[in-house]
Structure 1
Amino acid sequence: MRVGACQTPEILGDVAAAVGVVRDFARQADAAGAELLLFPECFLQGYLVSDEHVRRHALEIGSAGLTSVLGSLAAIRQTLVFGIIERASGAFYNTAVVVSDGRVVGSYRKTFLTPGEAVFTAGTEYPVFDRFGINICYDTQFPEAAAAVAAGGAQVLLVPAQNMMRREKALWWQDRHNEIRSRRARETGMWLVSADVTGSRDPSRVGLGPTCVMNPAGEVVTQVPAGEIGMVSVEIAATARPATRPPGRFLSRTTVRSGRCRNR
């Protein structure tokens, strides 16, 4: 399986522009032979956690609005994993969807929320799809989130992230993101693939990534340079796993108790 990780510009409230970025990267992925493409956290509508932005732009999985958007991606041959702001039963979720042939074939809701994400409801489950599972950004600071994905039989942990921060904070965190993620890879023996945004929102906020691929030893195999829009990809060979998983695309679902946690 060749996995591609996309470092994108930050797009806020412009779904058509986000779709255009996905298409552009899909063309690059065709040339690279990638079978799966990962995009950042809340990528489709943009990561703003204000009540107004979330209520205005949230979409229900299965709704006509999201179905129309996904229809415009149906010709893309890669499996896509990207963040959305999801509405469901009156609640809002920071969700990553797994999309194939223009259809949502699975989703994961961020389980560990910062105090600044009070508009969202925390998820409670860690689904595993084929060989991969998902943690979203802040989830990676909690070993139990990655461990739950590994327990489901995953070989690859996908991490959609969005680290558009005040400049001084972004610089402080620039290397620490990978230090934390490296620990998760080593603890679980999974590959870890992250995707983030780059650029600036205003003079005080910048996105420095990182968008990279780590091997199970926690070593960075390839990474998009900070400040650059681009994609990295790597071939991840299948390895033997315990033969205790049920068959099919959706392999397992682990339920945990979780909630909003302390800010970093």
Structure 2
Amino acid sequence: MADSTDPSPAGGLRIGACQPPEIMADTEAALAWIEDFARQGADKNVDLLLFPECFLQGYLFDPDHVSRHAMDFTSPAFTAVLRRLAPIKATVVVGVIETEHGRYFNTAAVISGGRLIGRYRKTRLMPGETIFDPGDTHPTFVQGGVRYGINICSDTQFPEPAAQVAAQGAQVLLVAAQNMLRRPVADQFKDLHHSMRADRARETGMWLVSSDVTGVRGDLRIAYGPTSLLSPRGEVVKQVPLMTTGMIVAEIS
């Protein structure tokens, strides 16, 4: 998909990285959280809002969940989502379970003024994500004179997806994540997410902004986060506290 280029002079990009609770199979509730963060972001002059992986419908790779809730981007259901988000001034980057021609994708949609201006489909799928097809492109976008691209969660375990974005001259890597994990795994990886993401930042020289969910799912799963801003040196500059909902604002000039 072609770049979406902001014709205005370079001035910087204020990114609001959001850490909401996990919302499962309730698009209306997910949209309400997006609207709430948009109100907070408007008070902070945020230009772009980043939300977690598959946040719109809830991240499960169960075939029944995916087939029930996936949205074709040309469908009336997704058109209604765009209409709902149209009043939001900031660009919204949000994870969506997408379907097209009978195939399913783990997608980050880039929405501005109620229009879909681009998408990124996750390229490095987890072993259990066999219901999804991998994406094969790494589009970048320009806003406020700042070029950015997107990775989704496990993409950041590998150098190549971030490198593909950096090769196009991007200054920022947005990471939509969803780490609602079994408790022992969540505890093991709680401090490793930043380590992997820091590697990608240092390798590419990009700022890295991540968004993740938080909370618990039943007795077995927990999501700590993190939602954070990492410098090109891999340093954690800002972070939403673990196990809390909230937003950080990263200003990239």
- The alignment's TM-score, normalised by the length of structure 1, stands at 0.89
2:208 and 2:128 mapped to 1: Cα distance? Answer: 25
- For residue 24 of structure 1, what is the amino acid of its counterpart? D
1:24-35 correspondence runs (5 A): 24-35=36-47
- For residue 43 of structure 1, what is the amino acid of its counterpart? F
Name the counterpart of 1:191. Answer: 207
Name the counterpart of 2:117. Answer: 105
2:76 and 2:69 mapped to 1: Cα distance? Answer: 14
* CA deviations over 1:133-187 (Å, ceiling 9, x no partner): 0010000011011000001111100000000001111011011000000010010
Identity of aligned residues (%): 56
2:198 is equivalent to residue 182 of structure 1: yes
2:82 and 2:201 mapped to 1: Cα distance? Answer: 31
* CA deviations over 1:24-49 (Å, ceiling 9, x no partner): 00011011111000000000000011
Name the counterpart of 1:221. Answer: 237
Name the counterpart of 2:5. Answer: none
Per-residue deviation at 1:62? 2.1
1:162 and 1:235 mapped to 2: Cα distance? Answer: 23
1:225 and 1:175 mapped to 2: Cα distance? Answer: 13
Runs of 4+ in 1 over 2 A off after TM superposition: none
Q: Structure 1, unaligned stretches of length 5 or more?
A: 238-264
1:134-149 correspondence runs (5 A): 134-149=150-165
Name the count of aligned residue pairs: 237
Name the counterpart of 1:259. Answer: none
Name the counterpart of 2:72. Answer: 60
- For residue 199 of structure 2, what is the amino acid of its counterpart? R
* CA deviations over 1:189-216 (Å, ceiling 9, x no partner): 0000000000001111000111001111
Name the counterpart of 1:254. Answer: none
1:1-264 correspondence runs (5 A): 1-130=13-142, 131-237=147-253
Per-residue deviation at 1:69? 1.2
- For residue 23 of structure 1, what is the amino acid of its counterpart? E
- For residue 232 of structure 2, what is the amino acid of its counterpart? P
2:79 and 2:52 mapped to 1: Cα distance? Answer: 20
SS at match of 2:67: helix
1:197 and 1:182 mapped to 2: Cα distance? Answer: 19
Per-residue deviation at 1:115? 1.1
- For residue 80 of structure 2, what is the amino acid of its counterpart? S
SS at match of 1:126: coil
- For residue 181 of structure 1, what is the amino acid of its counterpart? R
SS at match of 1:186: helix
- For residue 59 of structure 2, what is the amino acid of its counterpart? Y
Alignment RMSD: 0.6
SS at match of 1:9: coil
2:122 and 2:107 mapped to 1: Cα distance? Answer: 6
2:178 and 2:250 mapped to 1: Cα distance? Answer: 21
